[in-house]
Structure 1
């Protein structure tokens, strides 16, 4: 299986009736699946342009697109900011990058920090669910072992998700993966120095090996026509369950809850996370 194969999709989670975190005041134009691709002519498509006021002027965010001093290097490494897309080269129209999957029903940047790709990293940490005699538990329907992953409940939407986060400018993805797992699944921001050092050492050793299972576009409800989420998802597996699999999880930062969750096709997860979890289940020949 190619680790960089892009999910073929017509995005749907970013085409809901209203844009998130706007109290249903910012509506998207509703379009059909066949109107999503930019190659399809839609002469009546004139979406609202929305960029949340709270991100303007933030040090982690781009300026307004009409700021004459804003001269980004699209499709390139722009200083410490990565404006490349995992999907390949994206189109620039009227100074704005176009979502590589197509129309979303809303123009502008929404609540995303960057015009164009906004890069994230998602650590998928797994172990086998075990029965009373510590053998991997088999699912009665498939007779395959049940895989579990560390899932966090997001503070903003209440949905369960992989404990990932944004890649800081100049940061390597592996550093993001470790940082986000420590903050969201182990509550590292509130640990005592001794506890933090112990957790960091264990996570650093465990995260020294892993496999990329997906690299590309994410169907995220925050996406717009001109700004979108992309991620690198890596699987870190504790085969024996005695390393990270034995840690006591504690929700922190953007998470309100955390737990080991049984993997199955019925999981209602945030954004495209179910697609990534499926790839991990296939990799380990686990129940789905």
Structure 2
């Protein structure tokens, strides 16, 4: 499928990220790029080729590396999916804005070998596109909706460290059963912030009456007018492959008073089997890189 020759290895070593130094990117391989290297690939019976920690980086020689190639058959012909690489009508503009599709990585330029984009965080044990629609980066948006946990009398609840307890809205994914941020993929031509708001409405307002939904949409539109970018970059997602991967922009929308979205009665949308307010605690475990992203919100809101 593709091989990495000596010149390609040298080029990989000199590529710099626009958002992090090369040394930080190298360190992040061990701390971020782990969930997409183990077990069977989703929606398949293919087991990933073993990738030890010291063989993740493309610049490290790994002669035995022979990952299985997989692209989910159901992707073919879908409007959100790229054609196969090698299709004479498919001429993607890598590392660029390609029509209404962004093929730019938040982590800086990624390498192309034999026409295939390479995962900037390294080997994953499987090549091809997997279940992802795009070759290269697949952009998502993750809204972290937060509030302070409150007692029945309205006072803030505090934890064992005598600090207030921060909560966020989490959904339980139907595919893995893990709790996660209620995010989603960015549609072509859609702003990332619009995706974040759309995904939240689909999940949280799913079963409201039409009248209530219209009222809440007005409240939520005002609430979402202000948000802070918490994270922008690669996501350690089990769907990632050597040639397709997920990146996100995570926004925090905080309800300080608890009187806006903090009062919402939550109902799961089509892609989730549950939704609730979840305490952000040291032992919290979430889907993909969501634990690290949510912990960034906690650090922002609770000052030492």
User: Does 2:132 match 1:115?
Assistant: no
For 1:195 and 1:275, locate their aligned partners in 2 and report how far apart those are by CA, in whole Å: 34
Name the residue aligned to 1:128: 148
Greater CA drift, 232-241 or 247-256: 247-256
Name the residue aligned to 1:233: 250
For the structure 1 residues 137 and 191, does the alpha-carbon distance in structure 2 shift closer, same or farther, using more than 3 Å as the test? Answer: closer
User: Does 2:54 match 1:26?
Assistant: no
- The structure whose residues are more often helix, as a share, is 2
CA deviation vs aligned residue, 1:112-132 (integer Å, no higher than 9, x gap): 000000000000000001123
TM-score (norm 2): 0.89
For 2:131 and 2:218, locate their aligned partners in 1 and report how far apart those are by CA, in whole Å: 35
Q: Secondary structure at the match of 2:29?
A: coil
Name the residue aligned to 1:282: 299
Gaps (5+ residues) in structure 1? none
1:193, distance to aligned residue in structure 2 (A) = 3.2
Q: CA RMSD in A?
A: 1.5
CA deviation vs aligned residue, 1:135-161 (integer Å, no higher than 9, x gap): 211112x21110000000011111100
1:42, distance to aligned residue in structure 2 (A) = 0.6
Gaps (5+ residues) in structure 2? 1-18
User: Does 2:66 match 1:49?
Assistant: no
Name the residue aligned to 1:215: 232
For the structure 1 residues 150 and 286, does the alpha-carbon distance in structure 2 shift closer, same or farther, using more than 3 Å as the test? Answer: farther
**Residue number among 162, 166, 172 corresponding to 2:185 in the alignment:** 166
For 2:276 and 2:208, locate their aligned partners in 1 and report how far apart those are by CA, in whole Å: 18
Contact 1:120 1:165 in 2 (8 A): yes
CA deviation vs aligned residue, 1:39-67 (integer Å, no higher than 9, x gap): 10111111111101010111110001121
Q: Secondary structure at the match of 1:9?
A: helix
Greater CA drift, 260-269 or 130-139: 130-139
Name the residue aligned to 1:90: 110
TM-score (norm 1): 0.94
1:79, distance to aligned residue in structure 2 (A) = 0.3
1:200, distance to aligned residue in structure 2 (A) = 1.4
